Structure 1
Amino acid sequence: MSSLRQAQDSAWFTSPDDAATRLHEAGYLADAATATTAYLAGTLEKPLLIEGPAGVGKTELAKAVARAAGADLVRLQCYEGLDEARALYEWNYKKQLLRIQAASSMADQSPQSWEETHDDIFTDEFLLTRPLLTAIRREQPTVLLVDEVDKTDVEVEGLLLEVLSDFQVTIPELGTVSATRRPFVVLTSNATRELSEAVKRRCLFLHLGYPDAERERQIVTSQVPALDEKVVRQLVDVVARLRELELKKAPSIAESVDWARTLIALQVGTLDEEAISSTLGVVLKHASDQARAVKELGLAASGR
């Protein structure tokens, strides 16, 4: 059986339409390009690199794939200074030291060479697995989310290359650990720096931007069905105007949903200037952004 046939037999989704339907059932409204790419990532067993501004649903897509497939989610949150010990594995040095001390205390009764002690302490019992190794070793369906990969140092990409190339990890003391069941891998990037071509070459690529007005209305309505349709349209229109401004941080889709829930909590029947001004902090988290919005939208600054 060919590798492609094997991949098809273990596909996460049976077709792009199946991906769209099941992701929708899992609470994620995927457009045609997103559904198709999610289907291909599972069928071809290739990592999926999702790039776009913060808050457009990159991380949520990985979570939705896990929910739709009934898989576990293993997440590696990237940050500056992330190293192999936090991403891949490390040894439990305290436990190893206790074993060495125990072996030393028993040396008079049962002499043991250093080679024997070494082989005894570098075993699975003393291995602390981190997200990358955890996902590779799992036999159950697993979604591996490498979140905000652009925040890591360039050196970490070398570590990712081994994982993404052959889905295996080399542990000097134990040998090579290969995946028995490849995880569905999602890497997200806010494009704060350019990723290496070597990493990109091993991935399918999907760019997610802010949705158009109709799709954002659908997303907000699906998440906050109790909000009046008229208010949803007003909210989406205002958010679109805010995104056109030169802000430090434009409102995300998640913040649109939070704003909708806020309006429900406040029992707002229409999103007028007063309602916008009093709740602007839900969608804009910088004082300079709020000041610009008040000026550009012609809002009253009083009461905020």
Structure 2
Amino acid sequence: MESCDASTGSRLSLPASVAEVAEGLESCDYLADEGLATAVFLAITLGRPLLLEGEPGVGKTETANALATWTGAELIRLQCYEGIDVAQAVYEWDYSRQLLHLRTAEATGGATRDTAEALEDELYSERFLIRRPLLRAIAATEGPPPVLLIDEVDRADDEFEAFLLEILSDYAVTVPEIGRFAAVVPPRVIITSNRTRDVHDALKRRCLYHWVEHPGFEREVAIIGRRAPGVGEPLARQVAAAVATFRELGLYKPPGVAESIDWSLALGRLGASELTPEITRASLGSVLKYREDQQRVVDQGIGGLIERAVAAAG
């Protein structure tokens, strides 16, 4: 497979190795560890959905973004939430356009008893079909297979999860008024979960599985360097060390790598070249997004925490 170039849009061959996947994702500024690169490689070559679980902010969603960019494929995202149903996930009819079509037919004399059946057929044609993410991914016919991101599946209810399992079994959808849509080439499916509830075993059996850990220190420094290039390495190392220290405090929402990047960008914008207790206190909202977590850090003593982080950063 070629390196990251979303503009080519060419159909790419399967990767030959885990190393090729890691290099391809890295070309899109996503630094995957060996475990994640292996999971992505197997998902692509075996044609299986990949279920990624882990704490918020560890890069689960970004995996799909990088994969789509690397392969030149369209990223189709389905954001799950409580109460999501077929209309939001698969398809629905454009009722406003259907009504406008009826009124136009009436105004022009096209709506008669003899033409009523033909008019009804027109109303339920693909012209008025709104393709939601699952149908778009299944019905795609041009370019590389799309990357279908089913984000935060743990937020959806059990009924939708069962429906999703059915869709992923044969990559086909039936629209009663039109017929069956089946994938010529199945999409590459990435499913993410923050594990606010357990995903059912049936869905897990359908997927390959990988738990995404917080990156190690050196890899987090490298990620910050890629995503916040204006921040010097000494500050990047201090940020990674400070975030690692915060994660050990039993916070309600431990900061992920996404927060490390946000904090680095904020510090760069503030003109900081190193972490100090003063600049940390002023920018704490960039890395800790809950008041209780900020208060815990303050109570632990920002000065001591930052001194430990600077020492650990070398």
> In 2, distance between residues paired with 1:233 and 1:86?
43
1:51 match: secondary structure: strand
Q: Which position in structure 1 is the counterpart of 2:263?
A: 259
Map 1:202-241; keep pairs closer than 5 Å. 202-241=206-245
Q: Which position in structure 1 is the counterpart of 2:286?
A: 282
CA apart distance, 1:246? 2.1
Q: Which position in structure 1 is the counterpart of 2:309?
A: none
Q: Which position in structure 1 is the counterpart of 2:295?
A: 291
8 A contact 2:227–2:261 mirrored in 1: yes
CA apart distance, 1:95? 2.7
Code of the residue aligned with 1:121 in structure 2: it is L
Q: Which position in structure 2 is the counterpart of 1:123?
A: 125
Map 1:142-221; keep pairs closer than 5 Å. 142-221=146-225
> In 2, distance between residues paired with 1:53 and 1:41?
21
> In 1, distance between residues paired with 2:290 and 2:200?
32
Classify 1:95/1:213 alpha carbon distance in 2 versus 1 (closer, same or farther; 3 Å): same
After superposition, the CA RMSD in angstroms is 2.0
> In 2, distance between residues paired with 1:203 and 1:252?
25
Any unmatched runs of 5+ in structure 1?
A: 1-8
Classify 1:79/1:107 alpha carbon distance in 2 versus 1 (closer, same or farther; 3 Å): closer
> In 1, distance between residues paired with 2:47 and 2:79?
22
CA apart distance, 1:287? 1.4
Query: Over residues 31-88 of structure 1, what are the superposed CA-to-partner deviations in whole Å (9 max), with x where a residue is unaligned?
Result: 1111111111111111111000100000000000011111111111111121110100
8 A contact 2:281–2:302 mirrored in 1: no
Q: Which position in structure 2 is the counterpart of 1:4?
A: none
> In 1, distance between residues paired with 2:111 and 2:194?
56
CA apart distance, 1:127? 0.7
Deviates more, 1:53-62 or 1:284-293: 284-293
CA apart distance, 1:10? 6.6
Residue 15, structure 1, aligned to residue 48, structure 2: no
TM-score using structure 1 length: 0.89
Percent of paired sites with the same residue: 44
Q: Which position in structure 2 is the counterpart of 1:270?
A: 274
> In 2, distance between residues paired with 1:56 and 1:50?
10
Any unmatched runs of 5+ in structure 2?
A: 1-10, 305-314
> In 1, distance between residues paired with 2:140 and 2:150?
16
The equivalent position to 2:35 in structure 1, one of 26, 33, 51, is 33
> In 2, distance between residues paired with 1:68 and 1:14?
15
Q: Which position in structure 2 is the counterpart of 1:5?
A: none
Classify 1:102/1:270 alpha carbon distance in 2 versus 1 (closer, same or farther; 3 Å): closer
Query: Over residues 236-272 of structure 1, what are the superposed CA-to-partner deviations in whole Å (9 max), with x where a residue is unaligned?
Result: 1110111111222111211101111222222222212
The equivalent position to 2:49 in structure 1, one of 38, 41, 47, is 47
Aligned residues: 290
8 A contact 1:11–1:43 mirrored in 2: no
Code of the residue aligned with 2:53 in structure 1: it is E
The equivalent position to 2:86 in structure 1, one of 67, 84, 87, is 84
